[in-house]
Amino acid sequence: MFAVAEAIGPRWRALVLLTAFTTLRFGELAALRRRDVNLANRLVRVQRNQAELNSGRLYDKAPKSRAGFRPVAFPAKIVDDLAHHLDRYAGPGPDGHLFIWPRGGKLPRSNFRDDWIRARTAAGVSEDDHFHDLRHSGNTLASQNGASTRELMTRMGHSSTRAALIYQHMTSDRDRAIADRMSEAVRKTLQRDDVATDSDH
């Protein structure tokens, strides 16, 4: 995550980090305005989603469900990155989009994909890792650090438990792996103690 954020350059660094730590969808990120970002309280407020017509025209619309309207917290670690982005790259005024294309206008997913691929390659990240995988990484990280199913649902903007339970299951697998390593460490320690006792005799 940080390797790609570094490789992608200053304009899109905040986009990569905010995606990973809030797990917002690309359309939600592209629709964020300046007024949706609260640096003091470390919150972004999701109130709309960017959609694309067959003609290629981009427009903002309301989230599909009530669960899509939500505040999502981000860590202090990326506050400076967001502050720098707001100062240098965001659209003007409270309603200015947080992420805009260098030549102005809304952020198209298809154009950004090229920047992502170049940064991913430069960072030595597998070509199997897509921008959307940042969302998966963030959800897994939240789950591993104690987020409940309900909390994951709220962060993701889901009204169903299905997706959240996937990450809870992944955390259970991770927890079992940790328990197995703990067991192995104890086994090795006991083995060393047995060898030391035998040598004393």
Residue with structure tokens 């903002």? Answer: 60
Residue with structure tokens 């947080």? Answer: 98
Q: How does DSSP classify residue 158? A: -
- Please, are residues 62 and 32 in contact by the beta-carbon 8 Å criterion? no
Q: Which residues are catalytic?
A: 25, 132, 135, 158, 167
In whole angstroms, how large is the CA radius of gyration of the chain? 21
Integer angstrom CA distances of residue 44 from 22, 50, 70: 8, 16, 8
